[in-house]
């Protein structure tokens, strides 16, 4: 059932609020003029759309309605549209609000194009006064923009749509996983870190003031989504760059509000309002009347307007310089925001068109404008609306519609103007009027025929049913070819995805060709992701993004030259395990080593412990181990000769000495390795060196019995022979040969023992 069927004219809500007529329709709600039967007053009733009340996110939308009521109810200020009541009617959440006769600031901006300094500062002062009351009770509006600034029939500001407001103690936007607010007015901290602070409201006020004076917002982009990131990466240009002749103090004040850094802005609206009062007191009279010449709403210097995500028209502006800093602000109490601003009647005359002051032109259908008094109360929804991340509906929209006839310029010759056209040939103006009338009739008919079904079509089949994958700012697409996200800087593009609400999952990987932090590849449902690809909100697929960690690095193991370590025993395997893919090993340059085993690293370049790219060249020289050598013939050589031969072959010798009856003393008798044996550097050879024949001194055995004497000589290794020419009577040795004390060999060259002859009598 549509809202028209549920709340027709004359229908009573809660037995108290009688619906008079529909005023406007936004992406979240329809606003009606109603009569409060109990208090006998006209009110505005804002009723949630049926498709939202019956959708999967019903509880979230109802909570937003309740939050709007709670936030506004905490604030008592003439510059805040009051919320009187809230509840549910036949399953639809509703709000009852103050009925405001007037237009919103966007409508007035479209009519005037640019504003004088006096008009601008008065609107800013009254807006800051209302926000100061909110900030004092720790409420941040979070969606300040011209659509939410109502100008009542007395020309004064009333701020509306606290549906996005939150207490500063809860001032993050992670609860919905989505950025909230309107793109052209979002502060950098909201886009980058999801922070919602009082300074963010001031930033939006500053952008709004910039637009009033310059006729355009400071940042524009041909890619609506990436518009917001200009706020993160660029300073808001000084007004002096687009408004030549404006007083520097005015430009400095706006620059203070729009500083990129949070700490560089005033702390809250009270401090900003105090600064505005001080600045206003220094302005000369001629500064108040400054106004940038403009041809209506066509933009600065006549540039064609561009449509931003919130429906505003924006001509291009020049690149911004760094914003100048105003004098340090001081805190004072709040007061009448208009007390320090010279009076003006520019916006106090006429503008009483029916308009929903809380209506966001980016999230509403185009409705024909009437001439009856209007009321505040739409929801300010846009492409960054509260629940866009999870598939909530948003209606397509345009701007606030045609300029009413009473805003037309008066005829210069005193005659009655017709739709803003003064005198001249009758035929040409008549064609212009007829064409405008035809367009108005066509728009009215189209809206009337499609208003009931547009929301459902938009939500289930139209643009509200899918996300269009945005184009990164830092890639160039070739016409006629699929444009992928490859090589886009991920950090910036991730912020874009957060703003649009597209579900994504990012993983990292190394890449030899894609710079660190850039996208290697992106896929949706198995297919390469391309710019403007549609991703369904009803059956969402996750965008899978692979982000480059840059070229993979690796570190040469610090112990790779230690042959006793695990890495040192197999250096090539160790480098591969460390991640190196360009290891150079020339076997022809490997060398023998006395100390390192075969396969150990002799040298490595760069040095151990160095970290470098995995594909950088690493050069390794390996040991071939000890060199093989042949055992030389050293037997019979002198010890010195043998030692020289073994040393030349880097063989180690263990020497021992023995008596030899055949080898002269000092010469090698034998070696543990045979001549010609295959050895290696460092091998040990046992060498026996001759001490010559073994010698003995003949003892004096004369006078001893033959038996004793023979035993003594035999004990020395000698042989004994008895001689008894006169007979062996006494058995006593009388003579011996060789004589006592003589040195003799124990054996001769043939190994025969020396014989000692003993003569007995």
Residues marked as catalytic: 143
Strand partners, 412: none
Strands 534-536 and 466-468 come out as antiparallel
Contact 515, 486 (CB under 8 A): no
Phi and psi at residue 495, in whole multiples of 5°?
A: -60, -40
Task: Considering only CA atoms, give the Rg of the chain.
Answer: 52
* Side-chain half-sphere CA neighbours of 379 within 13 A: 38
Residue 167: its H or E element: strand 166-167
Q: What is the dihedral of CA 107, 113, 118, 121, to 10 degrees?
A: 60
- The whole-angstrom separation of Cα 649 and Cα 654 is 15
Q: Which residue has the tokens 């004040």?
A: 253
147 contacts 398 by C-beta, under 8 angstroms: no
Helices (H), 99-197: 105-112, 117-136, 188-193
Cross-strand pairs, 630 = 678
User: With contact defined as beta carbons under 8 Å apart, do 124 and 272 qualify?
Assistant: no
CB-CB neighbours of 268 under 10 Å: 23
What are the structure tokens assigned to 22, written together? Answer: 């529909």
* CA–CA dist 605, 290 (Å, integer): 71
Q: How many helices (H) and strands (E) does the chain have?
A: 17, 34
Residue 756 to residue 734: CA distance in whole angstroms: 13
Identify whether the C-beta of residue 473 lies closer than 8 Å to the C-beta of residue 491.
no
* Measured distance CA(553)–CA(611) in Å, rounded: 7
- CA–CA distance, 347 with 294 (Å, rounded to integer): 17
Q: Which are the contacts of 63, defined by CB distance < 8 A and separation ≥ 6?
A: none
Report residue 494 as tokens: 């991730």
């Amino acid at each position: 059932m549509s809202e028209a069927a549920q709340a027709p004219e004359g229908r009573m809500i809660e037995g108290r609020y009688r619906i008079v007529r529909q005023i406007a329709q936004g992406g979240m709600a329809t606003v009606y003029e109603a009569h409060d039967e109990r208090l006998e007053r006209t009110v505005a009733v804002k009723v949630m759309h049926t498709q939202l009340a019956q959708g999967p996110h019903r509880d979230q939308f109802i909570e937003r309605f309740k939050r709007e009521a709670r936030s506004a109810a905490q604030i008592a200020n003439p510059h805040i549209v009051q919320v009187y009541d809230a509840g549910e009617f036949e399953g639809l959440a509703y709000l009852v609000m103050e009925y405001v006769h007037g237009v919103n600031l966007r409508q007035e901006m479209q009519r005037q194009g640019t504003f004088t300094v006096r008009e601008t500062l008065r609107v800013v002062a009254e807006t800051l006064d209302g926000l100061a009351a909110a900030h004092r009770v720790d409420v941040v509006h979070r969606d300040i923009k011209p659509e939410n600034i109502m100008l009542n029939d007395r020309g004064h500001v009333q701020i509306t749509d606290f549906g996005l407001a939150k207490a500063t103690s809860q001032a993050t936007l992670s609860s919905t996983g989505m950025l909230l607010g309107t793109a052209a007015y979002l502060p950098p901290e909201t886009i980058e870190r999801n922070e919602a602070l009082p300074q963010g409201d001031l930033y939006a006020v500053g952008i709004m003031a910039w637009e009033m004076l310059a006729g355009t917002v400071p940042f524009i982009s041909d890619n609506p989504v990436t518009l917001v990131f200009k706020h993160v990466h660029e300073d808001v240009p000084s007004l002096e760059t687009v408004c030549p002749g404006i007083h520097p103090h005015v430009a400095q004040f706006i620059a203070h509000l729009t500083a990129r850094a949070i700490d560089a802005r005033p702390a809250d609206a009270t401090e900003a309002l105090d600064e505005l009062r001080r600045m206003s007191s220094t302005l000369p009279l001629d500064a108040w009347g400054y106004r940038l010449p403009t041809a209506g709403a066509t933009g600065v210097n006549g540039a064609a307007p561009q449509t931003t995500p919130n429906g505003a028209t924006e001509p291009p502006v020049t690149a911004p310089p760094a914003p100048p800093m105003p004098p340090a602000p001081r805190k004072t109490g709040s007061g009448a925001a208009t007390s320090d601003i010279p009076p003006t009647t520019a916006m106090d005359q006429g503008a009483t068109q029916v308009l929903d002051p809380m209506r966001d032109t980016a999230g509403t259908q185009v409705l024909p404008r009437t001439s009856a008094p209007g009321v505040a109360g739409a929801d300010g929804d846009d492409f960054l609306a509260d629940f866009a991340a999870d598939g909530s509906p948003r209606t397509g929209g345009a701007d606030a519609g045609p300029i009413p006839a009473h805003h037309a310029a008066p005829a210069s010759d005193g005659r009655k103007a017709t739709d803003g056209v003064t005198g001249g040939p009758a035929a040409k103006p008549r064609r212009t009027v007829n064409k405008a009338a035809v367009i108005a009739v066509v728009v009215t008919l189209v809206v009337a025929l499609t208003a009931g079904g547009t929301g459902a079509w938009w939500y289930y089949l139209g643009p509200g049913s899918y996300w269009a994958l945005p184009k990164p700012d830092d890639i160039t697409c070739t016409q006629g070819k699929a444009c992928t996200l490859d090589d886009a800087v991920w950090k910036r593009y991730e912020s874009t995805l957060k703003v649009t609400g597209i579900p994504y999952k990012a993983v990292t990987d190394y890449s030899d060709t894609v710079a660190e932090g850039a996208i290697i590849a992106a896929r949706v449902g198995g297919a390469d992701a391309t710019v403007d690809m549609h991703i369904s909100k009803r059956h969402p697929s996750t965008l899978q993004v692979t982000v480059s960690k840059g070229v993979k690095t690796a570190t040469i193991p610090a112990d790779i030259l230690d042959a006793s370590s695990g890495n040192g025993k197999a250096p090539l395997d160790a480098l591969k395990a460390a991640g190196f893919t360009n290891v150079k090993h020339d076997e022809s340059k490997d060398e023998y080593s006395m100390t390192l085993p075969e396969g150990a690293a002799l040298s490595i370049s760069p040095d151990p412990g160095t970290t470098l790219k995995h594909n950088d060249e690493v050069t390794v020289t390996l040991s071939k181990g000890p060199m093989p050598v042949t055992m030389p013939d050293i037997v019979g050589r002198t010890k010195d000769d043998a030692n020289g031969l073994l040393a030349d072959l880097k063989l180690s010798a263990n020497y021992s000495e023995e008596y030899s009856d055949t080898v002269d003393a000092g010469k090698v008798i034998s070696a543990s390795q045979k001549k010609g044996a295959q050895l290696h550097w460092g091998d040990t050879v046992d060498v026996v060196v001759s001490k010559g024949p073994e010698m003995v001194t003949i003892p004096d055995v004369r006078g001893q019995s033959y038996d004793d004497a023979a035993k003594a000589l035999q004990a020395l290794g000698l042989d004994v022979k008895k001689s008894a020419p006169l007979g062996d009577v006494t058995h006593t040795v009388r003579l011996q040969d060789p004589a006592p004390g003589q040195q003799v060999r124990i054996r001769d060259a043939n190994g025969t023992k020396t014989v000692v002859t003993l003569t007995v009598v």
